[in-house]
Each structure stands twice: as C-alpha cells, then as structure tokens.
Structure 1
C-alpha cells in the first residue's frame, strides 16, 4: 500500500472520530435551537471557515478546470449538497427521538448501502456484501425494534437518512478525483446551509438567544464536524475507493456510542448491545478480503517456481 493510501485512511479515521463525538454536540445543541436552525448555522459556519484555506493551502488547489468542468463542479457540488442536506436533516430531527449511540449505529448502515447502490453503475456486489448486509439487518432488528414489533420514529428517520449518506459517499467518490477538494467542500456546505436556513425560517423560529445558547455545540459541529471532518473525507477519498471509505468512516458509530456513554450518560440495554455487535460485525465482514491469503500463497508459489 502506498504512503498516500495510508495517509488517506488516517484522514478518514480522524474524520470518523470527529463525526462520532459530533452526535453529542448535535443532541446538546437542540436544547436551544431547532434541528434545521442547528444544521443551517453549522454548515454555513463550516463552509465559510474553509474559504481562508484557499489561500493558506495553495498546494491543495489544482489547475483551473475548463468551462464545461466548472459547470460539472457546480452541478455536482449542488447535488452533493442536496444529499448532505437530506441526510443531515433526517439525522438531526431523528436525534430528538432516539439516542446518539443508536443514531450513530443506524447511520452506519450506509456501509452496506454504498456497494448496493453501486450496482446501479454496474458494480456487482460480492457474497460477503450480502452476508454483511444480513448481519446488519438482524442487528438493526435487535437495536431498534421494540417488543411490540414497532420501530421508533427517530430510528426510522436515521434509517432513511442512511440512504442519503450512502448517496453522498458515492457522489463525493465521483467528484473528489476530478475537482479541487476545497471547492467541493465549500460549495456543498453552503448549499446545504442555505437550504437549511430556508427550511428553518419556514418551520421554526430561529432566535439570537437560541443560537448563542447553542454556540459551543454549533462551533464544534461547524468547525470540526463540517469544516475539518468533511474536508478530510473529500481529500481522503482521492486515493481510496468508495467501498473502502465506507468501512473506515463507519467507525463513527463506535465513537458515537462512546461519546453518548461518556458525555450524555446514555445506556444501551443487553438487546441493544447485541444488535450493535451484529451491525458492527456485518460492517466489518462486508469489507474483509478473504482472498488475501490465497493471493499471497499464489505469489509465493509463483516466485518459488520462477527460482527453480
């Protein structure tokens, strides 16, 4: 594996940790503002915080794309911003009705959805993907389905949102090798933030006092979760396939549970812990390389035959 690949994966792991603990900030912030107001403030803040980096980090900038590609950047970033808005909105609203830990694990289902959606582009899924998907579905049952066989409203929103997060990963996977990562990040964040503000003023009543009360949560979610973590994702995906990116950033589920336990005193019962374990196992199994040993053995045999 090249050094660049290691660096990319390290960036994605850091992003996953930031996102995992961001669930805590998202829950705390909604004690003062509504979900759309919170998202509007943090995404606009995150987008604006990156603008100085266009000057500070010129090495991230590439040759200016031709006019048709510039249009592709705008359209692609707007589409990425839409996926981001849909996923973040469903996640934020759902957090009002479920725990940060459960929300993190259910959101992590995008690791299975990414290769499934990739079938639309003619990319066939291996048997391990379907086995991992089965484990995740069973785990989701134990985590979210109640004794009366109903799923909570909050968990349902997180589950739908996972589909949009999967679409976002695939969209970024297409955009990041083609355009400047900072341009992609700034545009998608501002699109998401502006749309969130429109919805916030339509269905909520944003106030300065509420924003001030949630200022620390918005600052973390804006600067860290949006400005830094999403940009690390865009840069990291330049040297990693979408399916591998999905397994790495799914570690946010573990950090979400850890953050909820340490900072919000959230408790998962035995059934929920069992469900989390099955989902985590499914996420890992779906990305295991079962042919690595065979490939290595074949290389050793080939080298032996060549030397004889």
Structure 2
C-alpha cells in the first residue's frame, strides 16, 4: 500500500468516525428540539458548509461535460443537477425523518447498525433494475435478518417502535442511494450533495413550522453543539473527506472503511451516553457487521452502489 492509499484510508476512516459519533449528536439534540427542527437546521448548515468546498474544488465545467459524454451520458448538466438534487433531497428528507424519530425510542448503537442494513438492501433492490445478486449477497441478507432479530425482537416477539422507524429509514436510504447511483455519473457530486441538503433542510423547516410550532429560538440555541456537529462535521466535513478519500481507492476497500460507521455508533453510544448493549444485542451487531462486509465483497460483475454519498 503506497503513501496515498494510506492517507486516503485514514480520511475514509475519519469520515466513518464522524458519521458514527453523529448518532450521539442526533440523540442529544432531541433533548432540546423536535426531529424536523433538528434535521432542518443541520441540513441547512451542511449545505452552507459545502458552498466554500465547491468554490475550492473549482470544477471545470467543460471538462465535466466531456466526462459525461465519454461515460455515455450526454445530458444537460444544469437541468440534470437540479432534478437530481431535488429528488435526492426528497429521499434524504424522508429517510432522515424516520431515522430522527426512531432515535427517540432506541439506542444510538442499534440505530447505527439497523441503518447500515441499507448496504445489503441496495443490491437486493437492484434486482428490480435488472442487476444480478451474487450468492454472497443472499447470505448477507440472511445474516442481516438474523442480526436484526437479535437486535430488535424482544420477549413475546415484540419490536420497539424506534427500531421500526429506523428500519424504514434504512429502506428509504437504499432508495436514496439508488437515486444517487443514477445521477452521480452525470453531475458534480459535491454540488448534488449541496442541493440535496438545502432541499431536505427546507422541507424539514416547513414541517417544523406546521408540526413543531412550539420550537423556540432559545431551544435551538440550547442545541447548538449537536446541531453544529451534525451539520458542519457530519454533513460538510465528512462528505468532503469521503470525496477526497475515495480518489484512486479500491471501491470495496472504501466501502468497508465507511461501513465502520455502525461500529463507531455503538462505541460512541456506550462511551458518551452510557448506552451499553446486552449480549444478545452485541451478537446481533456482530451478525450485521459480518453481513455488511460480505455484501461488499467484489464479484466478477459487482453492483457497486453501497457507498454513502451523503452524510449521517
């Protein structure tokens, strides 16, 4: 492994750490403001943070258009970028809303691992797009189902409300990733993320004004620390680290490093919030992590859409 690969691996791992700890910020933020308010403000902050990143990268539009044509996607990049940003923003709004509501009723560690189920769901959903699944994918699905059972199913075959919300969130994030997989070869990835953050933020703020009208400026200011972390670091910094870190990196290695987010969420919940898991739940986490790793093992014709091109 050369020096550049070592540096890029470190950047991707750092992004995973930031995303994993972000689950703690999301949980703490809910002590002050509602889910819509938290998501709205954090996404608007994330969009603002990405504006100077876009200016620094200073992408060459002519070069970008040439790349689009070479990749077989001769499109109007401006229209495609706007359409992609809006669609991705709506998907992100739905997924993050269910996640934020779910975190109110479950631990951050469980939320992190159940959310990571999207890595298995993406290639499975790809079947509807005529993408083939390898035998390892089906093994991963079975292992993940077993892990979810240990994590979520309690005595009497009951399941927590928060776990249901987060599982719906994982399904919606799978759709979000498939949408990104369609638009990302056609447009600038950072600009796409910036637009989606603003769309998600605006939709969340509208819902906040309708359903959380009691949210006050004092409450928002009280939540400034988790909001700033989730917005600036999780949305802005971690996403930028992913873009830089994935350059010239094996996509499988990149995906494996980023999937460490789920492990970090468990460790962060334990160290920061004191949310220890039972042996049964730890066993579920182990099965989920094995499933995540197996799902990203490359095949002869892999369907590689498992990377997270937004932030948590």
Length-normalised TM-score, structure 1? 0.85
- In structure 2, the residue matched to 1:48 is 48
Q: Is residue 2:172 matched to residue 1:164?
A: yes
- Cα 1:242–1:173 change in 2 (3 A) is farther
- Cα 1:104–1:131 change in 2 (3 A) is same
Residue 159 (structure 1) shift: 0.4
Residue 235 (structure 1) shift: 5.8
Residue 288 (structure 1) shift: 3.1
Residue 242 (structure 1) shift: 7.9
- In structure 2, the residue matched to 1:73 is 81
Q: How does 1:1-308 map to 2 (within 5 A)?
A: 10-58=10-58, 60-63=59-62, 65=65, 68-204=76-212, 205-233=214-242, 246-289=255-298
Q: Distance in 1 between matches of 2:157 and 2:142?
A: 18
- Cα 1:192–1:289 change in 2 (3 A) is closer
Instruction: Count residues with an aligned counterpart.
Output: 290
Residue 248 (structure 1) shift: 3.9
Q: Distance in 2 between matches of 1:179 and 1:222?
A: 23
Q: Which has the larger radius of gyration?
A: 1
Contact kept? 1:111, 1:243, Cα under 8 Å: no
Q: Distance in 2 between matches of 1:200 and 1:241?
A: 41
- Cα 1:178–1:243 change in 2 (3 A) is farther
Superposed CA offset, 1:9-33 (max 9, x none): 6544332211100001111111110
Deviates more, 1:114-123 or 1:173-182: 173-182
Superposed CA offset, 1:172-219 (max 9, x none): 233333322221121010000000001111111221001100001100
3-state SS in 2 of match to 1:52: helix
- Cα 1:237–1:77 change in 2 (3 A) is farther
3-state SS in 2 of match to 1:148: helix
Superposition CA RMSD, Å? 2.6
- Cα 1:2–1:179 change in 2 (3 A) is farther
Q: Distance in 2 between matches of 1:4 and 1:178?
A: 27
Superposed CA offset, 1:101-151 (max 9, x none): 000000010110111122222210000000011001001101110011011
Contact kept? 1:177, 1:238, Cα under 8 Å: no
Q: Distance in 1 between matches of 2:108 and 2:297?
A: 27
Q: Distance in 1 between matches of 2:190 and 2:133?
A: 31
Q: Distance in 1 between matches of 2:190 and 2:144?
A: 34
Unaligned runs of 5+ in 1: 292-308
Unaligned runs of 5+ in 2: 66-73, 301-312
- Cα 1:126–1:7 change in 2 (3 A) is farther
Contact kept? 2:115, 2:167, Cα under 8 Å: yes
